[in-house]
Amino acid sequence: MRTLTDAEKRRVRELLAVLVGIDSSVPAPQDEDRLCPEARIASWLADHLRGMGMAVETREMVPGRANLVAHWPDQPVAGRRSLMLEAHMDTVTAEGMTVDPFGGEVRDGRMYGRGTCDTKGSMAAFLTAMAIARESDRLPADKLYFVATCAEETGCRGARALMAGGFRTDAAIVGEPTGCRLVTAHKQPLWIRLETLGRACHASTPGLGVNAVERMARAVSVVHGPWAGRLAAADHPLLGNSTAAVTCIEGGARINIIPASCRAEIDARIVPGLSCARAVEDLDALLAEEIGAESFRVLSAESFGALDAPPDAPLVRRLLDLCRQANGQSGPEGVNYFADTGPFHQAGILAVLFGPGDIAQAHTADEFISLDQLEQATAIMVALLTGSPGKSLLQPGENVASGG
Ligand SMILES: [Zn+2]
């Protein structure tokens, strides 16, 4: 695999600095739809993509918040396979950062700022690689899309809206800081809101009421005990087992009143292949046994899709082969966090995660990306996009080994 020229290295760094300089941070989640944090970067990106010769479409999720979908209109043809390179535009809040969030300061081989790592580094690498591949006139036969999503940090809402609106490609490479490793699997979050019910009375005569907090205490034991045990029974080769934790709890009205209601939130991470609906049914049955069916209700249960891409798909093999050359990766990997890959996989798209930087630096007060990582990711993507000119990256080729 060829390394980048100095001019190409400068190009991807300069692009990243521009992207980081445009604040797309999401404040408190309850304000995000009002403040439309991606509006400025979406408008800058739309111009940039048009400058690359792409046709750009905006697909609105809610007023003022849109996903961008871009492709080269002169790149035919109906019936061809399609591949999207994707990165989300939003970042977590810039409040409390100990470095200039938008300055793009370069120091000791790193660029600092909000989003350098999660995930504007991936965005800069993908856009630069696409431009270089196009200029070298070695694009694959597949129709190439660049997609920039909104509202990823608050539950992949942009990607889910994009799928609900019917947009599809055959395959997707989603940019997240995987350390330039190919990731083919992650768990799906299952977020459950639970309420236990009681009957209020004066706390001086507790026997006259029913204590919802006491019921919740027993419910918490069920979640962390038998339910977590059942979830842990199924193993995934790359991900280990599912987990569950009660993460928020709130109940009661006053110190001298037996509480009539208590609410808790549960974060479970479910391995691919296990059904979230089934897991909720299981919890429901266990709770009914422990505290009685009339004593609680499941207020909501939300999940965003797991990722489990087939390791023998031609695109997966091609990308893995390039990662092997660049950093010695020997097989597909799994990660604990979730990403836009979840909704894509759920919609039937062959999706993988790949991008520069270390997830340990995402969301931190001094977020940075290593420039070596940025350049490595760009070089891998250039090699991928120029490696099979005129042929499909999604079908087996002579340069893809057929063995495992
Ligand atoms: Zn991210």
What is the domain-level CATH number for residue 257?
3.30.70.360
Tens of pLDDT, residue by residue over 108-164, are 999 999 999 999 999 999 999 999 999 999 999 999 999 999 999 988 999 999 999
Tens of pLDDT, residue by residue over 179-220, are 999 999 999 999 999 999 999 999 999 999 999 999 999 999
What is the domain-level CATH number for residue 165?
3.40.630.10
Centre of ligand 1 to C-alpha 216, Å, is 34
Q: Would you say residue 19 lies in a domain?
A: yes
Tokens for 79, please give them: 């019936």
Residue 359 — very low, low, confident or very high, per pLDDT cuts 50/70/90? very high
Q: What stretch of H or E contains 219?
A: helix 212-222
Centre of ligand 1 to C-alpha 176, Å, is 5
Q: Please, are residues 118 and 368 in contact by the beta-carbon 8 Å criterion? A: no
Are both 324 and 215 inside the same structural domain?
Answer: no
Centre of ligand 1 to C-alpha 20, Å, is 14
Are both 54 and 155 inside the same structural domain?
Answer: yes
Give the angle subtended at the CA of 391 by the CAs of 56 and 55, to the nearest 5°: 10
| Type of residue at 244 | A
Are both 155 and 25 inside the same structural domain?
Answer: yes
Q: Would you say residue 269 lies in a domain?
A: yes
- Report the pLDDT averaged over residues 271-293: 96
Centre of ligand 1 to C-alpha 295, Å, is 39
Q: What span, in angstroms and rounded, lies between the C-alpha atoms of 221 and 284? A: 14
CA-to-CA dists, residue 143 to 81, 135, 182, 205, 300, angstroms: 6, 16, 22, 72, 39
Centre of ligand 1 to C-alpha 282, Å, is 31
Non-local (6+) Cβ contacts of 57 within 8 A are 68, 69, 70
- Report the pLDDT averaged over residues 211-233: 97
- Report the pLDDT averaged over residues 332-360: 96
Q: Would you say residue 1 lies in a domain?
A: no
Greatest Cα pair distance in the chain: 82
User: Of 228, 233, 237, which is closest to residue 190 (Cα–Cα)?
Assistant: 228
Q: Would you say residue 398 lies in a domain?
A: no
Q: What span, in angstroms and rounded, lies between the C-alpha atoms of 343 and 258? A: 43
Residue 78 — very low, low, confident or very high, per pLDDT cuts 50/70/90? low
- % of the chain with per-residue pLDDT over 90: 91
CA 377 to chain centre: 18
At 31 the pLDDT is 81
- Assess whether pLDDT exceeds 60 at residue 341: yes
Are both 28 and 129 inside the same structural domain?
Answer: yes
How much is the mean pLDDT over the chain?
95
Comparing 403 with 151, which gets the higher pLDDT? 151
Centre of ligand 1 to C-alpha 1, Å, is 27
Are both 35 and 162 inside the same structural domain?
Answer: yes
Which residue shows structure tokens 């009914």? 288
User: Of 142, 160, 130, which is closest to residue 62 (Cα–Cα)?
Assistant: 160
DSSP 180: S
Residues with CB under 5 A from ligand 1 (ion): 118-119, 176
At 77 the pLDDT is 67
Centre of ligand 1 to C-alpha 194, Å, is 28
Tens of pLDDT, residue by residue over 366-375, are 999 999 999 9
Q: What span, in angstroms and rounded, lies between the C-alpha atoms of 303 and 305? A: 6
Residue 15 — very low, low, confident or very high, per pLDDT cuts 50/70/90? very high
Centre of ligand 1 to C-alpha 297, Å, is 33
Tokens for 56, please give them: 């750009």
Are both 310 and 352 inside the same structural domain?
Answer: yes
Are both 154 and 50 inside the same structural domain?
Answer: yes
Q: Please, are residues 344 and 172 in contact by the beta-carbon 8 Å criterion? A: yes
Give the angle subtended at the CA of 290 by the CAs of 288 and 295, to the nearest 5°: 55
Centre of ligand 1 to C-alpha 118, Å, is 5
At 74 the pLDDT is 86
- Assess whether pLDDT exceeds 60 at residue 403: no
- Report the pLDDT averaged over residues 34-53: 96
Q: Please, are residues 166 and 179 in contact by the beta-carbon 8 Å criterion? A: no
Centre of ligand 1 to C-alpha 286, Å, is 35
Q: Would you say residue 392 lies in a domain?
A: no
Centre of ligand 1 to C-alpha 92, Å, is 9
Centre of ligand 1 to C-alpha 239, Å, is 19
- Report the pLDDT averaged over residues 304-319: 96
DSSP 57: E
Domain that holds residue 72: 6-186+306-386
Are both 33 and 159 inside the same structural domain?
Answer: yes
Residue 404 — very low, low, confident or very high, per pLDDT cuts 50/70/90? very low
Centre of ligand 1 to C-alpha 266, Å, is 22
Are both 200 and 111 inside the same structural domain?
Answer: no
- Assess whether pLDDT exceeds 50 at residue 401: no
Q: Would you say residue 394 lies in a domain?
A: no
Q: What stretch of H or E contains 352?
A: strand 350-353
Centre of ligand 1 to C-alpha 186, Å, is 14
Centre of ligand 1 to C-alpha 402, Å, is 33
Are both 239 and 283 inside the same structural domain?
Answer: yes
Centre of ligand 1 to C-alpha 147, Å, is 14
Centre of ligand 1 to C-alpha 339, Å, is 7
Centre of ligand 1 to C-alpha 56, Å, is 22
Centre of ligand 1 to C-alpha 149, Å, is 11
Q: Would you say residue 403 lies in a domain?
A: no
Q: Please, are residues 357 and 105 in contact by the beta-carbon 8 Å criterion? A: no
Centre of ligand 1 to C-alpha 152, Å, is 7
Are both 205 and 174 inside the same structural domain?
Answer: no
- Strand, coil or helix: what is 178? strand
Structural domain count of the chain: 2
